[in-house]
């Protein structure tokens, strides 16, 4: 049974022939480029510069030979442009040496300068004549957004300013998605697509790093304040964004049909380590209607499954995610309060697919022994994989300096679980 058939069974809550594995399918299930290099070396693969497929988090390409070595079942369709507004697929590539000394391949428009403190400053669309949009500290392994918030003048706030990055999809983008999805779906792998435009309030996107001169509410703190103090403003943004997204999805569907298995809808986080960012009532008022509208359109018009990312202690929000029409929850942060794997599977496993949660990345994968990593992976697979409804991934992306021995132990455990 091929990978795509197994993914479809998993997403339908049927027992697959083998546990489905994803590494690299999305920007929240990926692998840092340094960890990709370490894995390639561990498996004796060709030593070559790793392509950076998502430069904000410095995620590396999981190429075909590494996918085979890791026994990965899912492949991701990323948008043509990255979070900095320049092409990251079907583009020219150039060599770049990182602050930690790794030789990488980055898009030709990956334009940066070095600050006096050694940090790297990167520019929207590669235009160095404007203010930088993100910074990577000298000792860091990924970028942080630079807030370019103009002074907020209450009487001049216009929701249209927070909609600048959302627009009707053009023919060039439709051609790109048709070409990309056709290529990926020709394989026997499952396909998850990040079509964009549906990230309602995703705080990573609020600063507008892809915009040369972002207007509106672009400061993280100001955005969170606005969800309470300016709800009409947020509703106006979400309402128009949602309708644009549905219109764009309809046009993409005309081109690609059901060649997509799952769609990354939203990366908005609702949880901290111990609690939630907002109350259930605020979620119902501010977010639920728009999520439901997007997911209802998908379920009524396509066979796509809806993928929701939220870190943190969101056990209490699981019924709300179900009500909103999400099929898949990621990253399943099992080390957060209330996120016990047995409870989650028993209580919500018939309604939600858990995509992630295979191993704790904050402590176990980074600091545990290989034997302890393997033990936790086997235990979580035994819990989550019963009766389908589980795609193996870690709790969020694999970070730069995770010991490769621990990664190998994790992958060995999956093979053992699959009887390989």
Please report the pLDDT score of residue 420 as a whole number: 80
Residue 92 lies in a domain: no
**What gap in Å lies between CA 237 and CA 231, rounded to an integer?**
10
Please report the pLDDT score of residue 375 as a whole number: 98
- Asked if residue 1 has pLDDT above 70, the reply is no
- The candidate with the shortest Cα–Cα distance to 105, out of 116, 87, 92, 115, is 92
Band of residue 150 on the pLDDT scale cut at 50, 70, 90: confident
| pLDDT tens per residue across span 346-362 | 999 999 999 999 999 99
- Asked if residue 271 has pLDDT above 80, the reply is yes
Residue 144 lies in a domain: no
Tally the domains of the chain.
Answer: 1
Residue with tokens 């049909």: 257
| pLDDT tens per residue across span 287-307 | 999 999 999 999 999 999 999
**What gap in Å lies between CA 112 and CA 394, rounded to an integer?**
31
Mean local confidence (pLDDT), 332-354:
98
Residue 131 lies in a domain: no
- The candidate with the shortest Cα–Cα distance to 156, out of 209, 201, 217, is 217
- The candidate with the shortest Cα–Cα distance to 325, out of 348, 356, 300, 291, is 291
| pLDDT tens per residue across span 175-201 | 999 999 999 999 999 999 999 999 999
| pLDDT tens per residue across span 126-145 | 999 999 999 999 999 999 99
**What gap in Å lies between CA 357 and CA 342, rounded to an integer?**
11
Task: List own/partner pairs for 144-149 with CB under 8 A and 24 or more apart.
Answer: 145/204, 145/207, 145/209, 146/121, 146/207, 147/207, 147/218, 147/219, 147/220, 148/207, 148/208, 148/213, 148/214, 148/218, 149/214, 149/217, 149/218, 149/219, 149/222
Q: What percent of the chain has pLDDT over 70?
A: 100
Domain CATH code at residue 231: 3.20.20.210
**What gap in Å lies between CA 420 and CA 415, rounded to an integer?**
5
Residue 93 lies in a domain: no
Mean local confidence (pLDDT), 364-374:
98
Please report the pLDDT score of residue 373 as a whole number: 98
Mean local confidence (pLDDT), 231-258:
98
Residue 143 lies in a domain: no
Contact status, residue 71 vs residue 408, Cβ threshold 8 Å: no
**What gap in Å lies between CA 144 and CA 136, rounded to an integer?**
6
Residue with tokens 């509208």: 293
Residue 40 lies in a domain: yes
Residue 15 lies in a domain: yes
Q: What are the C-alpha distances in Å from 412 to residues 377, 416, 420?
A: 10, 6, 9
Mean local confidence (pLDDT), 237-241:
98
Q: What is the dihedral of CA 59, 60, 64, 65, to 10 degrees?
A: -130
| pLDDT tens per residue across span 65-119 | 999 999 999 999 999 999 999 999 999 999 999 999 999 999 999 999 999 999 9
Residue 106 lies in a domain: no
**What gap in Å lies between CA 212 and CA 207, rounded to an integer?**
11
The parent domain of residue 329 ranges over: 3-47+62-84+149-418
- CA 131 from chain center: how many Å? 26
Mean local confidence (pLDDT), 336-346:
98
Q: Which phi and psi (to 5°) does residue 257 adopt?
A: 55, -140
| pLDDT tens per residue across span 6-41 | 999 999 999 999 999 999 999 999 999 999 999 999
Supply the mean pLDDT for the chain.
97
Q: What are the C-alpha distances in Å from 168 to residues 161, 178, 293?
A: 16, 16, 18
Contact status, residue 248 vs residue 168, Cβ threshold 8 Å: yes
């Amino acid at each position: 049974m091929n990978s795509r058939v197994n993914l479809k069974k998993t997403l339908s809550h049927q027992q697959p022939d083998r546990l489905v594995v994803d590494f690299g399918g999305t920007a929240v299930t990926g692998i840092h480029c340094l960890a990709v290099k370490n894995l390639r070396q561990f498996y004796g693969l060709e030593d070559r510069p790793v392509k950076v497929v998502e430069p904000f988090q410095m995620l590396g390409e999981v190429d075909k030979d590494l996918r085979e070595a890791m026994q990965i079942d899912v492949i991701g369709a990323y948008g043509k442009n990255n979070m900095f507004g320049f092409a990251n697929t079907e583009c020219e590539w150039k060599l770049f040496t990182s602050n930690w000394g790794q030789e990488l391949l980055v898009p030709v428009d990956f334009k940066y300068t070095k600050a006096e403190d050694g940090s790297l400053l990167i520019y929207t669309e590669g235009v160095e004549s404007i203010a930088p949009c993100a910074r990577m500290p000298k000792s860091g392994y990924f970028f942080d957004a630079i807030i370019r918030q103009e002074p907020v003048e209450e009487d001049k706030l216009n929701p249209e300013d927070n909609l600048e990055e959302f627009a009707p999809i053009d023919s060039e983008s439709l051609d790109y998605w048709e070409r990309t999805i056709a290529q990926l779906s020709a394989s026997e792998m499952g396909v998850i697509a990040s079509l964009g435009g549906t990230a309602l309030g995703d705080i990573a996107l609020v600063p507008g790093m892809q915009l040369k001169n972002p207007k509106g509410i672009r400061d993280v703190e100001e955005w969170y304040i606005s969800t309470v103090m300016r709800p009409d403003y947020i509703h106006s943004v979400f309402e128009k964004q949602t309708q644009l997204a549905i219109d764009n999805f309809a046009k993409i569907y005309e081109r690609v049909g059901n060649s997509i298995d799952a769609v990354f809808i939203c990366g908005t986080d609702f949880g901290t380590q111990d609690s939630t960012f907002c109350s259930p009532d605020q979620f119902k008022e501010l977010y639920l209607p728009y999520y439901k509208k997007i997911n209802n359109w998908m379920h009524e018009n396509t066979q796509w499954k809806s993928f929701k990312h939220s870190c943190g202690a969101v056990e209490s929000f699981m019924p709300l995610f179900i009500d909103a029409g999400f099929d898949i929850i990621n990253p399943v942060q099992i080390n957060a309060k209330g996120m016990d794997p047995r409870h989650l599977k028993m209580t919500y496993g018939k309604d939600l697919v858990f995509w992630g949660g295979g191993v704790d990345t904050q402590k176990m994968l980074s600091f545990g022994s290989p034997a302890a990593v393997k033990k936790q992976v086997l235990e979580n697979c035994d819990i989550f994989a019963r009766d389908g409804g589980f795609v193996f991934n870690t709790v969020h992306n694999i970070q730069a300096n995770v010991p490769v021995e621990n990664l190998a132990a994790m992958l060995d455990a999956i093979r053992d679980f699959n009887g390989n």
